[in-house]
Structure 1
């Protein structure tokens, strides 16, 4: 892949990582602000449901942060944009849509078919 494209993806990933770090801090502060002892059971249930939802989002963000860090590491190692299964180059369009992708669309499609068939 061209050096200019690699730099563009690196900047895109770093920007996304910074954005997620900032939103993660807001999520945690939002959870801390909701640590009230509500007398009304409906209020407590609502707060608990909201906290569960926020924790789910935080978990998803955490997984994405790890994928972004892995992608940045692949850039440093010179492996970014190479399918981990077949070794072919991952298409530029796929990387634009999902810069953390580790598989080309062909290998990813095969994997998803197997997962649907075997439920793994």
Structure 2
């Protein structure tokens, strides 16, 4: 991988992280302003369900932020783009699609096949 590739992915990851954090701040602001009283219990239940769904999404986002931070650390230590399983380079197309990945497409496919067999 070329130095400009590392810079491209560093910028991509930082942009992803900033977007997620901004969404989280927006969600907190929206939820703190949302103090409606519902006359109909069904409306209240719908609002609570929507709120729970939004919180689950933000929780997933926080897990992604952790993966982004780990990917940024791999860029710094020079292991970014190297498959943790086989040690081969991860293709640029795969990294562009999922920059937090730690496995090449072959190892990820193998992992998914093993997981599918265990579920049977």
Fold match by TM threshold 0.5 = yes
Tell me how far apart the structure 1 counterparts of residues 31 and 90 of structure 2 sit (CA, whole Å): 39
2:41 corresponding residue in structure 1: 41
The 3 A distance-change label for structure 1 pair 91 and 45 is: same
Compute the TM-score of the two structures, normalised by the length of structure 2.
Answer: 0.94
1:59 corresponding residue in structure 2: 59
1:81 aligns with 2:96: no
Tell me the secondary structure at the aligned position of residue 50 of structure 2.
Answer: helix
> 1:34·1:47 contact (CA, 8 Å) conserved in 2?
no
Question: Structure 1 residue 37: deviation in Å?
Answer: 3.9
After the TM superposition, which parts of structure 1 deviate over 6 Å for at least 4 consecutive aligned residues?
Answer: none
**CA RMSD, 1 decimal:** 1.4
Give deviations 1:60-82, integer Å, cap 9, x for gaps: 11111111111001001110000
Unmatched tracts of structure 2, length 5 or more? none
Compute the TM-score of the two structures, normalised by the length of structure 1.
Answer: 0.94
1:29 corresponding residue in structure 2: 29
Unmatched tracts of structure 1, length 5 or more? none
Question: Structure 1 residue 52: deviation in Å?
Answer: 1.0
Give deviations 1:12-39, integer Å, cap 9, x for gaps: 1011111111111111222222243433
Number of corresponding residues = 120
